[in-house]
Structure 1
Amino acid sequence: MVEQITKGIKIIVKTKYNGTSTRNGRQYYVFAYFITIENNSEQIVQLTDRFWQIFDSLNITEIVEGEGVVGQTPILKPNDNYSYSSGCFLESNLGSMKGFYTMQNIDTLERFKVIIPTFQLSTPILSN
């Protein structure tokens, strides 16, 4: 688990390896990630956008950006939290992700970035 706080907004990330999947004759490693966003500030904020960099150890980088997360743009009052899960496919068994959410203060309309800390995506180590 990794976590980071930006302007009173805490991001907590947990990951899980979900095995392999084959698409178009290629094997992929499937990872899930679980995000919790805690509003520890005194402001009411809304998550408006996301930006992800997904790194694969085969030197492949994918950029994912867009409105909200999993089809939602949640509003968080002070002490609220919001959780969701999503996933990604890597061509290798090792990678990482990082990024940021764009939040907007509901009262002032100020927009600011909340850092999503770098987290690792790796398959379990096989033991003999």
Structure 2
Amino acid sequence: MSVRATRAVYRLLLRQARALDQEGVQQLDIRMPVDKEAWLGRSGGHGWSKPRDEFHLESLRRLAPWVAEGATSGSFSPAQLRALVTRCFRHPPAGSSADDRIDWAFQSLRLLSEQIQMQRCSSSAETEGVHVEVTTAHVGSQGELDPTFDPDEEGPEKEFYTYRVRVSNCGKDVVQLLGRHWIIENDKGEVVAEVARGSTGVVGCTPIIKPGECFSYYSGTDVEPPGRGAMHGSFQMAVVDPQRPQQVLRKFDAEIAPFPFVPPAGGTPGAA
């Protein structure tokens, strides 16, 4: 029974991997789940993290150690993903039992589904060596988060989302994040809110990011009914003198590619 079940899950995994090709996904980046508690102030909201490539590889090793042996990257094209699935099921780790393999198979199926969903709720862009990756997650409806909410008095309830922003310095210059610009749109593509270009820092910080470092933080926003929307913008960056960080050599805008707010079922927001 375990062998048949493992083969069935294996086929489902390959089907999911093939579906990425059909969706036009060129690369699946493995990410740690978004911490929904961070924006609400129940856990760490900002700090230093692994830069882009290390983050994806570490995420793979932490989430799926049974497939990470010998892996040098946590990012896969659909073809590479299919090859990884095939290798893991045809050549399982030495000493693994049938129960181990069926357990890994089901965990892999759940993990791949979660990663594909996170990919759909993420964006990625690089400008002059500054890589900005954003991943969103639905936190809850207004009624779920606020027991005092009264739709008869306040109108239709909003949906709340958190988003994790990772700013990795993949270049050779020391840079500082000086400001931000956000544009928030509803499900019709209409601009419903904007944080003016040059608004100071993020979450009260103007971090200096050295080559190979990453500053990450959590923020959030609310979305008017029907609870869908998108957001994009830019960070105002400065290249600074490594010896005298207060001396700005030049400035540029780092693109933040559009990322969606998607509810689980398939007034004016503020953003940091």
The DSSP-based 3-state class of the residue aligned with 2:249 is: coil
| Correspondent of 2:224 among 91, 94, 105 | 91
The 1:60/1:7 distance shift into structure 2, 3 A limit, reads closer
Residue 63, structure 1, aligned to residue 194, structure 2: yes
More strand by proportion, 1 or 2?
Answer: 1
Does structure 1 residue 19 correspond to structure 2 residue 148? Answer: no
User: Residue 42 of structure 1 aligns with which residue?
Assistant: 172
Structure 1, unaligned runs of 5 or more: none
16-25 or 36-45: bigger deviation: 16-25
SS of residue paired to 1:110:
strand
Give TM-score scaled by structure 1 length.
0.91
Deviations 1:19-68 (A, max 9, x none): 11148613111010000000011000000010000001264520013100
Query: Where do 4+ consecutive residues of structure 1 move more than 4 Å?
Result: none
Q: Choose which of 28, 31, 35 in structure 1 pairs with 2:161.
A: 31
Equivalent of residue 72 in structure 1, options 205, 209, 212: 205
The normalised TM-score by structure 2 is 0.44
Is the deviation greater in 51-60 or in 108-117? 51-60
Is 1:102–2:236 an aligned residue pair? yes
- Tell me the percent identity: 30
- RMSD after superposition: 1.6
Unaligned runs of 5+ in 2: 1-121, 143-148, 242-247, 267-272
- Whole-Å separation in 2 of the counterparts to 1:34 and 1:87: 9
2:233 paired with 1:81: no
Aligned residues: 126
Structure with the bigger percentage of helix: 2
Which residue is 1:118 aligned to? 258
